[in-house]
Structure 1
Amino acid sequence: MNRDTLADTLEDAGLSPYQADAFVTLLERGSASATDIAKASSVPDARIYDVLRDLEEDGYIETYEQDSLHARAHDPSDVLSDLRARADRFNTAADEIEDRWSRPALEDHKVSIVKRLDTVLARTDELIRSAEDQVKIAVTIGQFDELSDALAAAYERGVNVKVCLSTMDDDPSLPDDSVFETTCTEARYRKLPSPFLALIDRSWACFSPHGRSTDQYSIIVNDLTYAYVFHWYFLTGLWEFHESVYSERRDGEPITYVDMRQCVRDIEPLLEDGASIEATVHGFDTETGRELTLEGTITDATYAGINAADEREATISQLAGKVSITLETDGGTYTVGGWSALLEDVEATKITIGSLE
């Protein structure tokens, strides 16, 4: 660092231009009279004594009398500590500016647009760790690895976790079943580039275009309506038609659904065959908003689409409208809808099929 750059840096640290110039001059000379310092620097003769006294008060130099006023540079340990502390504060401030630039004010906005995928991944990790009912996520294998600890924690709490894995590689290395067994309820594989999408508890949606997109931005949404739109994109574009690579479902064990449409697709053929289906429904009373749990027998499943006579299972397009089940309990008969149910008695968040007869 040359002389002028050192002086400029000392000015940035709080010294005046005259103080910085005088101090650098003393560093070069070791000690000198006030007159000589003024001659060797840009400090005017009339100002040199005030400049030296100010430097002494700040701990940069010490003065002494020797026929005239002389000065020498003080032991630099205190000065160096101060400069390094200032540098640390600048670094901290730089980190804070970067963090505030990239971090959305989530508490103030339902929809936040951010510039960095890292911000979305960090927020998704937090949301997954606080999830209560369900997580649907579309990720690359690398992103899955990054979020696997959070997914495992949610799955261990009983959260229903669906993972859609995508890749831009020709021959990806998929995680083995032992990884899926501890992180998700079901996993599917999409052999196409996909955006990053995470849906948490029907309320939060985190989205970022795939890596080859020309538009690089990310969205974090805390809104039921917007999240519902992303849910349908996940269902139709990233989930429905792609290969399943893992499922925890086992024959003879209770089956839990967090999606009413998937539940109706599975049970409708059984109802047509006269099966008696025992179920437990967790959800909310659509009139009061009160949380409730109902146990009873599913007696009917209805949806707006028309099923072809030769089809045993309804297609996703036929289930795009109103879908519901009827549950008979000891306390009465209830109609049960799915996400954002308005016309039914209950909005279900979870349906567990206990037994079939």
Structure 2
Amino acid sequence: MNKSKLTTVLEDAGLSPYQAEAYVTVLELGSASATDVAEESDVPDPRIYDVLRDLEQRGYVETYEQDSLHARAYSPESVLEDLRERADRFEDAAEEIEDRWEAPTMDSHTVSFVKRIDTVLDKAEAKIRAAENQVLVAVSQSQYVRLRDALKDARERGVHVRLAMYAEEDSPHSLPSESELREVATEARYRSIPMPLIALIDRTATCFAPHDLSTNRYGIIVEDRTHAYVFHWFFMAGLWESTEPLFTDDDDSLPRTYVNIRNCIRDIAPLLEDGATIAATVQGLDVDSGTEVTLEGDIVDIDYPSLENVGRDPLFSYLGGQATITVETDDGPIAVGGWGAVIEDFEATRIVIEDVSYD
């Protein structure tokens, strides 16, 4: 690096142009009078004394009297430390700028495209840790390890977690043990075909990235219920249906919780046909206002066009169309739909079957 470039770098590090010129000159001369430093640099004679004293205060040089004012450079150790600290701060700033560019704030963007898959995983982890009701996630085993603690934390808070995992080398034996999976998921499945990374949280947020073998390396972060609904159907029909079960926490004991109204209808339809009284608590949203509501009462009716397929159609849970239960409350009958309800009074986020009895 020549003198001119070194001087420019020192100016970038906080020295004035005259200070940088004088310091580089002192380095070259070793020890010199103020007059000699001024002659070898572009610093005017009247300014050289103030410039050298300023450099002394900053720890770059020391001055001494020898017939006239002289200067010599201090050991560069402190100067080098200062420059390296500045370099580290510049590096940190560069990384922060890159991160902010790749992960713009969700306050101003409903849909964000990012370049780094790590950014998608970071957002998925944060959203899972804040989840209150439901998480659907498809991951590779390395991605699972990254999200495992967040999933475990959500599961301990009572969040319903559906976990689909890609088993490398076409072998389920490389998957985590069932005891570990039960700590992080309500239901877990696997398949040997690579899957994209997808995490859907509380029906409002979606984190997506193509699978590791894809030539496309990007991610999408979406904070929008409508887009989340589309990704939900992709997850259920395109991924979940093609996986093999590892375990499920579902059993016949009561109370029993559902986060999917179609699964609930599948199980209670035969009970209603047999004349059962089904007591339930429904947590959900008012379709008009979006406010959270809790309903308590008996499920007295079901409106589902493909009800006759219960027990026969393997894709029953994933069929579209209307899926409605009617809950008889103290305020009268109330129609409750599932995710994306538009014709019902309420959208159920969680249905708890409290009791089943027969007269």
TM-score (norm 2): 0.87
Residue equivalent to 2:12: 12
How far residue 227 of structure 1 moved from its aligned partner, in angstroms, is: 0.7
- How has the CA–CA distance of structure 1 residues 155 and 307 changed in structure 2, closer, same or farther, with 3 Å as cutoff? same
Are the counterparts in 2 of residues 266 and 313 from structure 1 also a CA contact under 8 Å? no
Residue equivalent to 2:334: 334
| Secondary structure in 2 matching 1:182 | helix
How far residue 125 of structure 1 moved from its aligned partner, in angstroms, is: 1.1
Moved more, 78-87 or 290-299: 78-87
How far residue 92 of structure 1 moved from its aligned partner, in angstroms, is: 3.0
Gaps of 5+ in 1: none
Residue equivalent to 1:56: 53
Residue equivalent to 2:23: 23
Could you tell me which amino acid in structure 2 is paired with residue 169 of structure 1? E
How far residue 241 of structure 1 moved from its aligned partner, in angstroms, is: 3.6
Separation in 2, partners of 1:336, 1:202:
17
How far residue 192 of structure 1 moved from its aligned partner, in angstroms, is: 1.0
| Residue 47 (1) aligns with residue 44 (2) | yes
- How has the CA–CA distance of structure 1 residues 51 and 86 changed in structure 2, closer, same or farther, with 3 Å as cutoff? farther
The structure with more helix, counted as a fraction of residues: 2
Separation in 1, partners of 2:23, 2:203:
64
How big is the alpha-carbon RMSD for the aligned residues of Structure 1 and Structure 2? 2.8
| Secondary structure in 2 matching 1:220 | strand
CA displacement 1:41-98 (0-9 Å, x = unmatched): 4x25x73563463143132224444344432224656544543442343233223222
Gaps of 5+ in 2: none
Residue equivalent to 1:112: 112
Separation in 1, partners of 2:205, 2:318:
26
Separation in 1, partners of 2:4, 2:180:
60
Separation in 2, partners of 1:259, 1:297:
18
| Residue 182 (1) aligns with residue 183 (2) | yes
| Secondary structure in 1 matching 2:135 | strand
How far residue 354 of structure 1 moved from its aligned partner, in angstroms, is: 2.5
User: What is the total number of aligned residue pairs between the two structures?
Assistant: 353
Separation in 2, partners of 1:216, 1:188:
25
Could you tell me which amino acid in structure 2 is paired with residue 332 of structure 1? G
Separation in 1, partners of 2:102, 2:28:
45
How far residue 204 of structure 1 moved from its aligned partner, in angstroms, is: 0.7
Residue equivalent to 1:97: 97
Are the counterparts in 1 of residues 287 and 345 from structure 2 also a CA contact under 8 Å? yes
Moved more, 255-264 or 74-83: 74-83
Separation in 1, partners of 2:243, 2:61:
74
Residue equivalent to 1:243: 244
- How has the CA–CA distance of structure 1 residues 90 and 285 changed in structure 2, closer, same or farther, with 3 Å as cutoff? closer
Separation in 2, partners of 1:184, 1:334:
32
CA displacement 1:293-335 (0-9 Å, x = unmatched): 2233323222234745x95457348730111112233442222
- How has the CA–CA distance of structure 1 residues 290 and 104 changed in structure 2, closer, same or farther, with 3 Å as cutoff? closer
Are the counterparts in 2 of residues 34 and 49 from structure 1 also a CA contact under 8 Å? no
Residue equivalent to 2:266: 265
Residue equivalent to 1:345: 345
How far residue 272 of structure 1 moved from its aligned partner, in angstroms, is: 3.4
Residue equivalent to 1:278: 279
| Secondary structure in 2 matching 1:94 | helix
Could you tell me which amino acid in structure 2 is paired with residue 155 of structure 1? R
- How has the CA–CA distance of structure 1 residues 51 and 251 changed in structure 2, closer, same or farther, with 3 Å as cutoff? same
Are the counterparts in 1 of residues 18 and 51 from structure 2 also a CA contact under 8 Å? no
Are the counterparts in 1 of residues 103 and 112 from structure 2 also a CA contact under 8 Å? no
Are the counterparts in 2 of residues 187 and 246 from structure 1 also a CA contact under 8 Å? yes
Separation in 2, partners of 1:95, 1:316:
49
Separation in 2, partners of 1:265, 1:317:
8
Are the counterparts in 2 of residues 338 and 347 from structure 1 also a CA contact under 8 Å? yes
